[in-house]
Amino acid sequence: MIIDCHGHYTTAPKALEEWRNKQIAGIQDPSAMPKASELKISDDDIRETIVNNQLRLMKERGNDLTLFSPRASFMAHHIGDFEVSSTWAAICNELCFRVSKLFPEHFVPVAMLPQSPGVDPKTCIPELVKCVEQYGCVGINLNPDPSGGHWTSPPLTDKLWYPIYEKMVEYDIPAMIHVSTSCNACFHTTGAHYLNADTTAFMQCVQGDLFKDFPQLRFLIPHGGGAVPYHWGRFRGLAQEMKKPLLDTHVMNNIFFDTCVYHQPGIDLLNTVIPVKNVLFASEMIGAVRGIDPTTGHYYDDTKRYIDASKILSAEDKQAVFEGNTRRVFPRLDALLKKQGR
C-alpha cells in the first residue's frame, strides 16, 4: 500500500472561502458575522472537488490513501480570537470528515486545532476529542506559531503545550508540526515560513527534554524536515555541546520527517542522513508547488517517483517509507486499515 501522510483539502468548494471571508468581515462588524449553518456544501460538491483533483492524481500516481487535513494556509490562526478560530476549525474538520466518509478507502482525516495567539492551547482539547472520537481522526496538525510568522508562543517544549501532549499520548496520535499563513512580509508562507518552522521545531526539541517527559509523544516534521537533514552535523554538534544525549536517543524515537521534498537529490540526501524508520511518504498534493519540473517532465510534488527511483533505499526500506512507518506512527490508522482488511 502507498500511504501519503500529508494531504490538505486545498480544493474545497468556493463556498468555504466565501464563508470565511464573511467571517473575517464579521470580526470588525459583528452584525455581518455569518452562522456556521449558513455554509451549504453538498456531498456532490465535495465529490466533484476530490474526484477531479486529489483522487485523480492519486490514481495516476499510484497512491492508495491520503491522510487528509484542512488546508494549512487557511488555518490562519492569527485571524480573530479563539471563538473565530473555533468555529472555523469545526467547519474545516467536519469537511475533511465528510471527505473520509465519501471516500473511505482513499482518505482518512487528520484534524486542525482551533489555536489562537496568546490563548492557552488547552482550549483546543474539546475539538481534538471530538475529531478523534466522532470523526475518526488519526492525528492532528499542531501550529507552533499561531501568530503567523511573529513567533509569540513559547517553544514546543514549554509546559504550556503539555495538555495537548497528554491528550495525544492518551489517544496514541501523532502531531504534524505545521504552521499556517505568514503575515510577516519577511517570510514567504510556503517558501520560507513552513521550512523555517520545520527547522525551528526540530531545534526546540533538541534544546529541550520534552521526550523525557513524554516518551510516547510523536511529532511528524513535514517538508522533509526543513533544513534539518542538510545540516545534520550542525544539530549533532550543537546537541553535543549542550551535553544532550545522541540525537538517536534524544529525539529520533519521537520525531519523524515526511518526503515532501520536490527533487531527487533532496530525497536522496534525506534518505542518506535520516534513518529509514524516521521517514514517512508524503507529497502534500495538491499543495504549494503545483507545476511540472521542466528537467524531468513530471510534477515536482509527484514524490513517489523519487522514492521509486532511489538507489539508497532497498525494496524493504521503500515498503517501510510507503506504508510500514506510517502505520507504526499512526496506530489508529493501522487499526482502521486492519478493520478494513488492508
Residues involved in catalysis = 284
Complex with Zn ion: residue 33 or 93, whichever CB lies closer: 93
- Beta partners for 65? 3
Q: Is the peptide bond between 79 and the residue preceding it cis, with omega within 30 degrees of 0?
A: no
Complex with Zn ion: residue 284 or 323, whichever CB lies closer: 284
In whole angstroms, the minimum distance from the beta carbon of 34 to Zn ion comes to 27
Complex with Zn ion: residue 12 or 33, whichever CB lies closer: 12
C-alpha cell at 286: 495538491
Number of Cβ within 10 Å of residue 43's Cβ equals 11
Q: Output the residue with the shortest Cβ distance to Zn ion.
A: 72
For binding to Zn ion (CB under 5 A), which residues are involved? 72, 284
Parallel, antiparallel, or unpaired: how do β-strands 219-221 and 255-258 relate? parallel
In whole angstroms, the minimum distance from the beta carbon of 191 to Zn ion comes to 13
* Widest CA span in the chain: 60
In whole angstroms, the minimum distance from the beta carbon of 222 to Zn ion comes to 6
Complex with Zn ion: residue 163 or 266, whichever CB lies closer: 266
Complex with Zn ion: residue 72 or 156, whichever CB lies closer: 72
In whole angstroms, the minimum distance from the beta carbon of 74 to Zn ion comes to 11
In whole angstroms, the minimum distance from the beta carbon of 8 to Zn ion comes to 5
C-alpha cell at 106: 482513499
266-269 long-range contacts, CB within 8 A, separation 24+: 266/224, 267/224, 267/303, 267/306, 267/307, 267/310, 268/306, 268/310, 268/311, 268/312, 269/229, 269/230
